[in-house]
Amino acid sequence: MLVFYTALSNNMPQLSTPQPLPPGPFLVNTFPASVQAGFPSPAEDHQVERIDLMNQLIKHPQATFMLRVSGQSMRDAGILDGSVVLVDRAIKPESGHIVVAVVDGDFTCKTLQTRPDAFRLVAANPDFADIVPTEGQTIEVWGVVVASIVQHGT
Amino acid sequence: MLALVDGNNFYCSCERVFQPWLKHRPVVVLSNNDGCAIARSDEAKALGIKMGAPWFKIRHFEEEAGLVALSANFALYGDMSDRMMTLAAGLGHAQEVYSIDESFIDVSGIPGDLVRRARIIRRRIHQWIGIPTCIGIGPTKTLAKLANAIAKSAERKPGSYPAHHAQICHLGACTPEELHALLVATEVGDVWGVGPRIGAQLRAQGVHTALDLQRMSPAATKAGWSVVLEKTVRELNGVPCIEFEDEPPAKQQIACTRSFGHPITELQDLQEAITEFACRAAEKLRRQNSHTGHIMAFIRTSPHREKDPQYSRSASIPLAKAARAANVLDGHARFSLLEKSDDLLVGKSCGLHIRHSPKLADFVPSIWYGSEGAGQGNSKDIVPPLSIGCQ
């Protein structure tokens, strides 16, 4: 980055000669000009955008939220305690989707299984029982899990 | 034709998306430092909690009615607002974001059934981000706003308006008789642009409903009231007078204010608050590339505690030179406010208002600094000095 100084008023001191600053306004200006030094980069014409993980994972940016999972109930699906799941609310939930559902006001992450007459939420861990809606209970699917992120060794 | 898309009880609705157990409970969101209610769920409104009600006055509902009060989480609301705005934009071909939860959409020339289109967008916003909205459509901003208010009331208070206007109301598609009935059912004070004071004056003159206001002569309104109200009358008659602004104009006024959690009694606390506000205000000024020629600083005791001794001081500070540097604003505000304050200093809230200086030519800089990217030497681009420790 080279900086050019220009004097915009006539009563400015010559910049090459050291002088005390004037008492009044004093304008110093820069121009964004750069001068290449050395051999030009052969890669310059071949630059592409770096892979953006978010772009790869998220189809509906407005409808996608990140939630952190706690507990081991989805262990066998690769979603561990502390995993972050990307939840897309724009996708219509279908049988077999891993979903985030609201049961009695609380979030839970399970696999959705639907039949023509009923549905249940199934854990990916034999230690956890299926969640079957009881009489009068409403279970709401909040969104569909499209990816899960497990961080290792940190 | 314009549409106004508005999130219902926006802050409360945002909270409910991530705390589903709040559904069907009375919820309020409190202002900074948990001072007063700035958003209320329908259930909280039903308890009679008014907008801006101080927390200590409504606190008893916690035990009596299961009221849940939440501290405002503006980072969350801002993000949800972004998402909502981009989805709402799909309704038409231009958008004016009017506030954190409202945007006007230009839908003129859009073929097909507008109500159906609005219903699809509304359903998508609800499905994708979980925020319930109401959409009002009309030929002018005032009518779109009115349609929106009708859509909300028809949903929340059955019987106030015909039920088919709930959630989505298209005034442009109403027959003259229907429109007449809707205007009769709307109080004049509920029309956009009619504040409580003007509303009372209008009622005193026999103007009670939106229809009465619509039938006023524009010329007489201008002569007897103001140009602003004249525009409202014209807009109610379908004549657009308020411009559609795709690009937000620079703010004419910037306010940074806050109520303290506890009354402050120490000078140092006050100074710190002022410095913080000066930094924030300066940042906002620079972001919109403008300067200020005027600062107003104030401190006062809580107006809600009527029994306590009341104290209020403010300082209006014209600047000799337009400025936008935090240290300049801070210095002036501190000096002037402290000069006016006496020893008895028990403040509950304080703040800074700064006024945008319209003419940049008035700006006579005392120090100009060059910086990278200062480009064409335009004074707008020059970054002013900052006091250390502010940013």
Give chain B positions within 8 Å (CB) of A31: 375
Among B116, B150, B109, B142, smallest CA distance to B1 is for B109
Cβ neighbours of A142 in B, within 8 Å: 20, 130
Beta strand pairing status for A84-88 and A64-68?
antiparallel
For tokens 């006016």, the residue is: B340
Question: Which residue from B324, B297, B326, B295 is spatially nearest to B313, judged by alpha carbons?
Answer: B297
- pLDDT at position B49: 95
Tell which of B120, B128, B321, B383 to mutate to test the A interface (max A CBs under 10 Å): B128
- Do the Cβ atoms of B370 and A3 come within 8 Å? yes
Strands A139-149 and B37-40, sheet pairing: unpaired
A interface with B, Cβ–Cβ below 8 Å: 1, 3, 5-6, 8, 25-32, 60, 62-63, 89-90, 102, 104-107, 140, 142
Model pLDDT, residue A41: 78
Sequence-ordered strand ranges (E) for B107-172? 133-138, 168-170
Mean pLDDT within A140-150: 95
Q: What is the pLDDT of residue B349?
A: 59
| pLDDT for residue B341 | 54
| pLDDT one-digit tens code per residue, A34-85 | 666 777 777 777 777 888 888 889 999 999 999 999 999 999 999 999 999 9
- Enter the tokens of residue A48: 């592409």
Amino acid at A38: G
Question: Residue A21: what pLDDT?
Answer: 60
Which pLDDT score, from 0 to 100, does residue B383 have?
33
Residue B366 vs residue A94, higher pLDDT = A94
Residues of B with CB under 8 A from a CB of A: 20-23, 83, 86-87, 127-130, 364-375, 377
| A7 pLDDT above the threshold of 60 | no
| Contact between residue B355 and residue B252 where contact means Cβ atoms under 8 Å apart | yes
- Distance, in Å, from the CA atom of B42 to the CA atom of B193, rounded to the nearest integer, reads 24
How many whole angstroms separate alpha carbon B348 and alpha carbon B157? 37
What distance lies between CA A124 and its chain's CA centroid? 26
The pLDDT assigned to A35 comes to: 63
Q: Which residues of A fall within a CB distance of 8 Å from B21?
A: 104-106
Q: Which helix (H) or strand (E) holds A66?
A: strand A64-68
pLDDT along chain B (391 residues), means of 10: 96 96 94 87 94 92 94 93 95 92 94 95 97 96 96 92 94 93 94 90 93 93 90 94 78 73 72 81 81 77 69 74 75 67 51 51 31 32 31 23
What is the pLDDT at residue A103? 93
Q: Give the Cα separation of B16 and B24 in Å (integer).
A: 10
pLDDT at A8: 45
User: Would the CB atoms of A90 and B127 count as touching at under 8 Å?
Assistant: yes
Active site residues of A: 73, 110
Q: At B99, list the tokens.
A: 């506030």
Q: Which residues of A touch B83 (CB under 8 A)?
A: 62-63
HSE-CB for B98 with a 13 A CA cutoff: 21
Q: Nearest Cβ partner of B368 from A6, A25, A32?
A: A25
How does residue A6 score in pLDDT terms, banded at 50, 70 and 90?
Answer: very low
CA of A42 vs chain B CAs: smallest distance (Å): 27
